Chain A
Amino acid sequence: MLIFIIRRLLQSIPVLFGITIISFLMIHLAPGSPMGQLMDPKVPPKVMEEWRKLFHLDEPLYVQYGLWLKNLVTGQLKSFKDGRPVLTKIKERLPATLLLNIVATLIIFSVAIPLGIFSATHRYSIADHVTTTLAFVGISLPSFWIAYLLILVAVKGFGLPVLGVRTFGLEGLSPSESFFDRIWHLFLPALIASITEIASLSRYMRASMIEVMQQDYIRTARAKGLEEDEVKYRHSLRNALLPIITIFGFLIPGLIGGSVITESVFAWPGIGQLGYQSVLSRDYPTIMTLTTISAILVLIGNLVADVLYAWADPRIRYD
């Protein structure tokens, strides 16, 4: 197992370099320059040249790539936009994104898994048809649209504030009021961030459970006269949960990477929003760093998924 992990990590290195080189080229070869966003058109060309020098934009691309890599590793990489270190900017955003996504993940698992189990054990009942229909709708929903509808209902119908991490301008609340204010501000974005995943995970859980319930060992369990509940929740469920464990691995990238759309809709000051802002202002170092971090997370997530699966299911071996 250890050898498998080490081999996979080693294999990831060239992939990672490939990713950074490709994104670097795409970002830098795209027409336009960050100077266009940064500067007033009235700025004299001479000053523009100095700025280009300052950001090394006058160097050949491979030199720029080398500089980017060196600065990233030494933590010296600075944002084009405000000259602050990129890693500091990302660190500032991390708590908000983590909080949002941990809550969303909890919602996803605690809703989707019982829902999937219920659907599978009540296959073809009216309730199953209803959850199946809802799951299809959930998968097909444009998340920003449903977010806006919810905002519309919350603000127009109930007069509740929804944007940001807390109600703006409400200072001097008692600790408990302030706590509930924050919970409320967390609730809607977490809900939006989890709808699609709830829908797909519950389908996945249902399929997994149904497949297990058709296995011979389940028939054996029934044949030897076990209680139906025992068959369902001990024999079937444990095996049906095996493939679900890998989902944890696939959630890692989203957990830290954040969601551009959800965070933009709710003005949530997380990493997704930082990404969107840096795209708007062509902040190349920040875009590159975020892309690299996400790629690393995807690679780690895949590895974690494989390892978890092998850990949970002794039939799986990687030799």
Chain B
Amino acid sequence: MPGQILEYDMIEKESLETELYSPFREFLKDFRKNKPAVGGALVIVFLFVVAFTVWFLGQLNIYFPYDPNETDMTIKLSPPSLKHPLGTDQLGRDVLARMLHGARISLLVGFVAVGIAVTVGILVGSIAGYFGGWIDNLLMRMVDAVISFPSFFLILTVVALLKPSFWNVMIVIGLTGWTGTARFIRAEFLSLKEREFVQAAHALGVKSSRIILLHLLPNALMPVLVSATLGVAGAILTEAGLSFLGFGVQPPQPTWGNILTEGRLYIFDAWWLTLFPGLAILITVLSFNLVGEGLRDVLDPRSR
């Protein structure tokens, strides 16, 4: 049977080339075959490098290509040119410089919000799945309640009432996005905790916290990676939407969302203020979506 030959092959490989075979290597090999996902990953790495280099240089008062907050009313709303490749805004600030400095905010909002969401989700999901009983019941009703919140409207309300700021935006987006992870981790835990290796750990008297952290969680974590990657895309879009309504990260701190918002007042005179930041958001979100889908394909055993 082909299956047996395959197994034999793997054993052979493992014994002969132990340092060559690892699940992570396999994973990388599969992932590399997915061209769009690799493209997306490269774009994300590039964005990170650019965003943080520009930010770091900014801390040292070296600005590239210009100081994002330097105004020059003599050149306000000038269209893209060699000197200002993406044009200037209503205060004569260079749009490219502002977008480069804004990239860090979009990425940070995405990652921190998802970080919060995943942490809360894992915490709630593990506790509910591991302990079961009334704790599970209580936590899952809580999940039901959070899922039923009209999320964008809720985020909008809370951010607006708390006064929009970088931190509020991230925290609120994060605190509304954890339910998927929690449900998933819980379901995984319910089935994993009946397995022999967990029973064995119980029999050996291993503490609950240790079983959760070392025996259960590593086995449930990979698919969370998929939803986290897609979550970053969603969080960046939500931040842009909030910015658009005037409740995102506030000026003068440039973000892609608020360049767009300021630009819409001049939409008929300065299309570049609308086109470029939106394009940047689209490319970033698209990259995260492609990587997320790529990860899902690689991690889904049915697609092998």
Contacts and interface: CB of A to CB of B under 8 A. Distances in A.
Interface of A: 14-16, 18-19, 22-23, 26-27, 30-32, 136-137, 139-146, 148-149, 151-152, 155-156, 253, 257, 260-261, 264, 275-276, 279-280, 282, 287, 290-291, 294-295, 298-299, 302
Contacts of B162: 30-31
Nearest to B264: A148
Contacts of A146: 278
Contacts of A14: 141
Nearest to B162: A30
Contacts of A143: 241
Query: By CB atoms of chain A within 10 A, which of B144, B271, B290 has the most?
Result: B144
Interface stretch (B4-12, B88-96, B145-153, B181-189): B145-153
Contacts, number: 121
B282 A141 contact: yes
**Chain B interface residue bracket vs A:** 35 or more
Contacts of B264: 148
B278 A294 contact: no
A282 B163 CA distance: 12
B286 interface: yes
- Interface pairs A-B: 8 shortest CB-CB: A145-B278, A30-B161, A294-B150, A140-B285, A140-B286, A298-B148, A18-B145, A144-B244
Nearest to A259: B152
Nearest to B286: A140
B118 interface: no
A61 to B, nearest CB: 15
Query: By CB atoms of chain B within 10 A, which of A142, A290, A291 has the most?
Result: A142
A261 B238 CA distance: 11
Interface in B213-238: 233, 237
14 contacts: A15-B141, A18-B142, A142-B281, A144-B240, A145-B240, A152-B267, A152-B268, A253-B150, A257-B153, A261-B241, A291-B149, A291-B153, A294-B150, A299-B148
A302 B145 CA distance: 12
B267 A151 contact: yes
What is the predominant secondary structure among interface residues of chain A facing chain B? helix
Contacts of B237: 140, 142
Contacts of A280: 160
Given A137-B282, A145-B281, 10 more contacts: A19-B145, A27-B157, A31-B161, A142-B281, A257-B150, A260-B245, A261-B245, A275-B153, A275-B156, A298-B149
Interface string B242-262: 001100000000000000100
A294 B148 CA distance: 8
A32 to B, nearest CB: 7
Given A140-B282, A140-B286, A144-B241, A19 B148 contact: yes
Interface of B: 36, 141-142, 144-145, 147-150, 152-154, 156-158, 160-163, 233, 237, 240-241, 244-245, 260, 264, 267-268, 271, 274-275, 278, 281-282, 285-286, 289-290, 293
Query: By CB atoms of chain A within 10 A, which of B160, B244, B275 has the most?
Result: B244
A165 B79 CA distance: 33
Query: By CB atoms of chain B within 10 A, which of A26, A137, A143, A144 has the most?
Result: A144
A289 to B, nearest CB: 12
Nearest to B150: A294
A279 B160 contact: yes
Contacts of B141: 14-15, 18
A156 B268 contact: yes
Contacts of B289: 136, 139-140
Contact of B161 (A16, A140, A260, A282): A282
A31 B157 contact: no
A261 B261 CA distance: 12
B293 to A, nearest CB: 8
A126 B260 CA distance: 34
Contacts of A302: 148
B290 A142 contact: no
Given A145-B274, A148-B264, A19 B153 contact: no
A298 B147 contact: yes
Contacts of A139: 289
A90 to B, nearest CB: 14
A37 to B, nearest CB: 11
A140 B160 contact: no
Nearest to A30: B161
Nearest to A32: B161
Given A148-B264, A260-B156, A299-B148, A136 B241 contact: no
Nearest to A26: B158
A260 B47 CA distance: 30
